Amino acid sequence: MSTTDAPPFRVLPRVTDQNRHFWEGGEHGELRFLRCRKCATIIHPPVGVCPRDHSTDVAPEAVSGRASVATYTINHQPWMPGPDLPYVVAIVEIEEDPTVRLTTNIVGCRPEEVFIGMSVEVVFEEQPDGEGAVWIPLFRPVEGAVR
Ligand SMILES: [Zn+2]
């Protein structure tokens, strides 16, 4: 499990039985999505039914954690207390299915080094949440991705 240097302010997710695998997978270093056991479709956001074949035979499964940057913005504005500016808000497409997109932050490089199509991998930021914790998936460049 990895964490980032400077955890920015977070609005924490509400963990439910349906999305717990996603928010707590980072404890095991795993990015997890619900996946249909019949057709292998990845279901995100997590609902209990496959959008392709309407099967309810779905279960959490870890993916590689690799993704690519679909789009991003560099935030220079202090909208909320917390994060060091500037920081990168990005939408990444996961390697297993580019239609599965996550809104996240790109960490581990300078904001101006981020580009569309950059190969990234998940890192998790642990955040205390009541009695337990959640693990926020963030992404950093894979080795050699920074130009
Ligand atoms: Zn299915």
CB under 5 Å of ion ligand 1: residues:
36, 38-39, 41, 50, 52-53, 55
Nearest to 94 by CA among 11, 22, 7: 22
Strands 31-36, 87-94: parallel, antiparallel or unpaired by DSSP?
unpaired
User: What pLDDT score was predicted for residue 16?
Assistant: 92
Residue ranges with strand state E in 76-117:
87-94, 97-106
**CA nearest 36: which of 25, 28, 20, 47?**
47
* CA–centroid distance, residue 34 to ligand 1 (Å): 11
pLDDT digits (tens, 9 = 90+) for 60-119: 999 999 999 999 999 887 766 666 789 999 999 999 999 999 999 999 999 999 999 999
Whether 91 and 101 have beta carbons less than 8 Å apart is answered as yes
Q: Report how far residue 114's alpha carbon sits from residue 137's, in angstroms, rounded to the nearest whole number.
A: 17
Q: What is the value of pTM for the model shown?
A: 0.88
Domain ranges for the chain, please list them: 20-141
